Amino acid sequence: MVQTVFRSDAIKGAVVLAALCLLPLPALASMFKGEALDTVANYLAWFIVIVMPVVGIVVFWKVHILPEKIAEKRHHPQKDAIQVLCLLSLVFGGLLWPIAWLWAYTRSTTSFLAYGTEKHLDYYHERAEAWRAGKLTRSEAVELQEELDAIASKVPLPTELKALRRDLAAANMVPVEASVSGGAA
């Protein structure tokens, strides 16, 4: 008996709630009225016409150069080609962007086979500056020299990297004690 009363009350409540939902209510389109509504609408229109296209262009640009930034950060050996693909993607409406994104995250085995390195030459220029500034340890300098030797065995080095390789070879021939005492003097 109690269950049937409860069920009938629940059904009645659902019917009343459905009927209330179907009743028309006055629509309030805005919290502003009269002249204030016109003023807000004018400012909103100017904001949409002037600011939003600029924001849209900036966001579109930032998203499209993301693969280029990733390739640069990872010292990708083909970062220049990825940059060109990102620019072409801008021209073609973003169709090439996924390819640039995937390319930025992959490592080419053919690059290592052809050039002896998986890094862009800018990486070695950065390491050379760090070495000249004294920010590299001796073991890092030896590792850098070995990498340059491996590259030189496959392809001719650019002039700057040849000079760096010679400087590293000359510096690494000095015994460790002499390089420490020479650095302290």
Task: Please report the DSSP string for 17-39 in residue order.
Answer: HHHHHHS-------S--THHHHH
Whole-model pTM over 0.85? no
Q: Is residue 78 part of a domain?
A: yes
**Is 100 in contact with 145 (CB distance < 8 Å)?**
no
Name the DSSP letter for residue 49.
Answer: I
- Whether pLDDT at 57 is above 70: yes
For 129-163, the pLDDT digits (tens) are 888 888 888 888 888 888 888 888 877 887 888 88
Q: Which of 57, 82, 106 is the last residue of a domain?
A: 106
* 3-class DSSP state of 35: helix
Looking at 66, 86, 106, the residue that finishes a domain is 106
User: Taking 60 as the threshold, does the pLDDT of residue 86 lie above it?
Assistant: yes
pLDDT band at 181 (very low <50, low <70, confident <90, very high): very low
User: What pLDDT score does 8 carry?
Assistant: 76
- 62 and 96 both lie in a single domain: yes
Residue 155 falls inside a structural domain: yes
Q: Do residues 65 and 96 both lie within one domain? A: yes
- pLDDT of the residue at 44: 93
Whether 65 is in a domain gets the answer yes
- Choose between 157 and 39: higher pLDDT: 39
Total number of domains in the chain = 2
Whether 43 maps to a domain, the answer reads no
Of the candidates 112, 109, 120, 108, the residue with the CA atom closest to the CA atom of residue 154:
112
Q: Tokens for 51? A: 């600011």
In a domain, 25, yes or no: no
Q: Domain range holding 94?
A: 48-106
**Token code pair at residue 4:** 């049937």
Looking at residue 180, its pLDDT comes to 38
Residue 79 lies in a domain: yes
